[in-house]
Structure 1
């Protein structure tokens, strides 16, 4: 005769107790919270649940958007081009790229009047920052400087998502064409998102000299430093790529990127490294949500403080 336990384990937990939460595994507390026992009890295994965690992050960022940023996001049409990874929030498909774009746009527009601006972007990726800016502000022009393959992608993408009049305002320049820009060409704003840190330091300095001579404002959003933590990605791209990454950009200090005090301290070096010249002033800076070790800053050339005194930047 078979006896059924009224409060017994389900077939699922019979399997879990046999394979993961075993008698020997629970006998030792050392390391159990970062291993298979806790991955069944309280935490999804991050090694196999990357998509779950990404979508949860997207969902929570979407939930925290202000009404102004929700409106900015809605104004960016054709965000589905390229089949992004999305969640559904308040009837909108939302992806990480454009959540970041509207948060960056919120930061920029809170400090400078973007309507009527001539924008230069260095390293535009596939063009989502350009797409977000042009969808929310009446820009005069938008110039993109990038490597050839990235230019091919951004030209195709922006041609697909923008209307004809918007696309006509964009000019695409290879990095080999930068020195050929007209000597009198000036820009109201230069934008760099997550590419200065991937360039040689001397290349970054050359771009900052270009900004100092041709632009009124600079918005930069990049990591404050380097990290060397194989638990984050298993160094899946190999030791050579890790070594190359550790040598690029103006900020080479290896820090604990999940220590807010370490990141905050390193942000002071960030502000100094990306200040184009001595006659430029930091207007605003903050951590660039959602990533723990990214910082954003807006600089202005010859920006006087109220009262006629030039503002000094003690942090940089």
Structure 2
């Protein structure tokens, strides 16, 4: 009967190659190494999609009914075959989960129906897609690099109907001054791109927002990180990493998984992203799910409160 309680062939190999007597001698780093990746933790280096889907699954359990309504209103989310999970019969990926959370922050605090919206750095267009699918936006102007705009033009033309797509105006970065001169917008948006621009470029856009907008929503990181365990590269050896440290308005390095360090950086974040002295933050909060991202809605002082009737 003793042979009943033997290791499987899988565990015979694990015990031979990874969970060895030698590996048990020094426990200094074993929880972030291969032995523990076989004992109790999937290796994040080779199981990134598994962890991504687990995160999305868990975040989906926290969504409110209004979030699910916004998600269902946003059709054709499957285009591009995202890494998605199914919760209670509804497919959801991280991009659109974030989009409905961002809209959930915005919608009770500013009037979106009938609004003229300016988005700087739209990516492939998931924010535009979500807003146009849930609100009667009057017009939507996207400012972006020509390379990225190839994706947003193609994607939004495929996921939106003709009437929605007709509301969008695309402006490349070299056309900004001439194309937007004298234009007025009720709301400006920047999600996770000011942090990737040169500081003078980001400040130039903030000056533009100061001149032509009455409200501004942004979601960006409160600082930079230098943690080899997060990117798999030795600190400072990658040219792209060095370039990333030169960009954005919040360039101080902090422990991005220390809640107190993140919270301590928030006041500087709120100051750095204020479009001008005549603006005040109307609301701000941690931007789920990333530990070091913050979101804030600013309003220009002296403008009428655009909060929708009945919103708290």
Which blocks of at least 5 consecutive residues in structure 2 are unaligned? 306-312
Say whether the 8 Å CA contact 2:250–2:272 is kept in structure 1: yes
* Cα RMSD for the two superposed structures: 1.8
How far apart are residue 105 of structure 1 and its match?
A: 0.5
**CA–CA separation in structure 2 for the residues paired with 1:277 and 1:229:** 33
How far apart are residue 233 of structure 1 and its match?
A: 1.5
Q: 2:13 aligned with 1:8, yes or no?
A: no
Say whether the 8 Å CA contact 1:288–1:294 is kept in structure 2: yes
SS in structure 1 of the partner of residue 56 of structure 2: helix
2:83 to 82, 85, 107: 85
Q: Which moved more, 1:170-179 or 1:17-26?
A: 17-26
- 2:310 maps to none
- 2:97 maps to 99
SS in structure 1 of the partner of residue 214 of structure 2: strand
SS in structure 2 of the partner of residue 6 of structure 1: helix
How far apart are residue 83 of structure 1 and its match?
A: 1.3
**CA–CA separation in structure 1 for the residues paired with 2:94 and 2:181:** 38
User: TM-score, structure 2 length as denominator?
Assistant: 0.93
How far apart are residue 153 of structure 1 and its match?
A: 1.2
| Superposed CA offset, 1:59-93 (max 9, x none) | 11112111110111011000011111111111122
| Superposed CA offset, 1:246-282 (max 9, x none) | 0011111011111111111111111000001111010
- Any runs of at least 4 consecutive aligned residues in structure 1 with deviations exceeding 6 A, and if so which? none
Q: 2:242 aligned with 1:243, yes or no?
A: yes
Q: 2:270 aligned with 1:271, yes or no?
A: yes
SS in structure 1 of the partner of residue 6 of structure 2: coil
Cα gap change, 1:36/1:267 in structure 2, threshold over 3 Å: closer, same or farther? same
**CA–CA separation in structure 2 for the residues paired with 1:287 and 1:182:** 31
**CA–CA separation in structure 1 for the residues paired with 2:79 and 2:185:** 29
Q: 2:229 aligned with 1:259, yes or no?
A: no
Say whether the 8 Å CA contact 1:280–1:303 is kept in structure 2: no
**CA–CA separation in structure 2 for the residues paired with 1:193 and 1:135:** 18
**CA–CA separation in structure 2 for the residues paired with 1:305 and 1:26:** 66
User: TM-score, structure 1 length as denominator?
Assistant: 0.92
Which blocks of at least 5 consecutive residues in structure 1 are unaligned? 307-316
Cα gap change, 1:267/1:304 in structure 2, threshold over 3 Å: closer, same or farther? same
Aligned residue-pair number:
304
